[in-house]
Amino acid sequence: MDEKLIDLRSAKNPKARIKIMKGHFATSNFHINNYIDISTIKVRHMNCREAARVLTDEFAHMLAVDTIVCLEETDTIGTFMAEQLADNSRHSLSNGNNISIVTPEYHQSGQILFRDNVQRMIENKQVLILAPSITTGKSVKRACEAVLYYGGKVCGICAVFSSVNKINGLEVKSIFTTKDIPDYRAYAPNECPMCKAGEKIEAIVNSYGYSRL
């Protein structure tokens, strides 16, 4: 399947790049016609750093951040974001903050947990939620609920790719949107036109990667 992956570079910074693959794919909740591979931007430190720069430029002057909750292996991007947000040489509202990078734990039911030793990094803190990709916002909404439950305040939401503009009234800041992938579609399994046309599912996918069928 790798030969089908096509590079997509950010207009704001070409070093912030993802790969896309057209086809018929299944997530845990939807069928999609474009698989978005963000592994490069999550694991290669230079690409992570450039992705972080694009995201922090979006809101550094608008938000004071104490903690970044990193969903689904985005903690390297989150670390670079924290470094840039707290940089004393930048005109950032988080200037000088010792920003916490927190990766949540997931219960079998899908509920998000923060263990006792990290709850102090959430309680009474300004929390930024970072996601790899957002299709409907369901997982990010769960993260918002968890932050509120543990006494924190969600001050912002950002993602590498997002197909939604707002979640819980907050604008989603992202590097890539459906403007970059205009034919991106997500369907409920029982409403998928590709299934109805008899097209076989090529792979099971999520933000961690894909598994061919």
| pLDDT at residue number 4 | 82
Q: Quick count: other Cβ atoms within 10 Å of Cβ 3?
A: 5
- Domains contained in the chain, number: 1
Could you list the residue range(s) of the whole structural domain that residue 143 is in? 2-212
| pLDDT of 162 higher than 80 | yes
| pLDDT at residue number 59 | 84
| pLDDT at residue number 29 | 87
With 0-12 CB in 10 A as exposed, 13-18 as middle and 19+ as buried, what is 129?
Answer: buried
Q: What is the CATH number of the domain that holds 99?
A: 3.40.50.2020
| pLDDT at residue number 177 | 94
| pLDDT at residue number 47 | 92
User: 87-119 burial, b for 16+ CB within 10 Å, e for fewer?
Assistant: eeeeebebeebebbbbebeeeeeeebebeeebe
Q: What is the mean pLDDT of residues 132-152?
A: 94
